[in-house]
Homo-oligomer: A and B are copies of this chain.
C-alpha cells in the first residue's frame, strides 16, 4: 500500500514540480529532494486515513502532495542547520548549491506546499479546505518549536535531559508532521470535518516516536546505501537521541565528562577515535537495547490506542494498513 498510495502521490508531485521547474531555477532546486526516491510514508498515511473514513484517495491527493513538499522543506532547512552531508543517497542540497540557494529553495518548497492546500477548495469546498489550512498551520508551528528545542540542546550541550524531554521534543519535531497531521487531515477529509481530531494525537504520538527512535537506531548501525545519509551523522552533530540521553544517565562521571567534551566540539573537529569510543560506550551501557525496548513499548502502546482512535473507521485494507504501521516502523531497515 505504501507503493500504491506512494506512487499516486509521487505522480501528482512530479508533474507539479516539472511544471514549476520550467518557470524558475529555484523550483528546479526545490524539486531535487522530493524527486529523490523517498517512500512517501506521510502521503500514504494521509490517503489511507481519508479512505478509512470514507473519502476517495483522490480527494486527499492535494493534501498529500502538500505534505510531501512541507516535509522536504523541513529536510532542506534542517540539513543546513545540522550541517548534514547527505540526504536520500546524494549530497545535501546546500553541499550542491551553497547555503544561500538551498535556504531559498527550502522557502520555495514551503510556498509550493501551500498552493495545493488552496487548490483543495476545488475538491473539498472552502469550509473543509480552510480547516486543513488551520491544521497545516498547527503542524508547521509544532515542527518549528520541536526543531528549536533540539537546536537549543545542541547549542547548550545539554547534559541533564530525560526520556520525557526526548519524547516531548519528538512529539513536536517528528510526530506532528509524520503521523498526527497526516491522520488528522485524512480523517478531516473523510468525515468532512465531522470527527474530533484530538482522538488521533495519542496514536500518532506513539507511532511517530517509535518511528523516530528506529530512525535514530538506523543512523547508528544501518546499511548506508539503504539509509541514504551519512551513518553516525547524529553522533557528529551531537543530536540528543534516546541512546545518547541514556548514555549520559548511565555513564560514570569520567565517561560523562569525556562524552560532553566530545559533543561540544564542532562537527568537523570531532576525532573519529572518540566517536568510535562513544558508540562502543553506547553498546556497553546497553543504550541501544534500551532504546529498542522503548520503541517496542511505544509501538505496543500505539496498537493499544488504535481501537479508540479508529473505532469508527471503515473495516478494510486502509484501516489494516494504518494498524500495521507501528510494527512496520520497527522492522524497516
CB within 8 Å of B: which residues of A?
A: 23-26, 77, 80-82, 98-101, 103-104, 107-108, 110-111, 114-115, 118, 121, 126-127, 129-130, 133-134, 137, 140-141, 144-145, 147-149, 151-152, 155
Contact = CB atoms under 8 A, between A and B. Distances in A.
B98 A155 contact: yes
Nearest to A121: B130
A108 B24 contact: no
A140 B126 contact: no
A112 to B, nearest CB: 8
A140 B152 contact: no
A24 B100 contact: no
A106 B103 CA distance: 11
A145 B26 contact: yes
Nearest to A30: B144
Contact of A134 (B26, B118, B147): B118
**How many copies of this chain sit in the oligomeric assembly?**
2
A118 B98 contact: no
A129 to B, nearest CB: 7
Given A103-B77, A155-B98, A137 B108 contact: no
- 6 A-B pairs closest in CB distance: A26-B148, A81-B100, A111-B140, A108-B144, A24-B145, A126-B126
A148 B108 contact: yes
A123 to B, nearest CB: 14
Contacts of A127: 126
B144 A111 contact: yes
11 contacts: A23-B145, A26-B145, A26-B147, A100-B155, A103-B103, A104-B147, A104-B151, A110-B140, A111-B137, A114-B133, A115-B137
B144 A26 contact: yes
A140 B121 contact: no
B80 A99 contact: yes
Contact of A81 (B103, B133, B155): B103
A93 to B, nearest CB: 13
A142 B82 CA distance: 28
Contact of A99 (B26, B99, B129, B140): B99
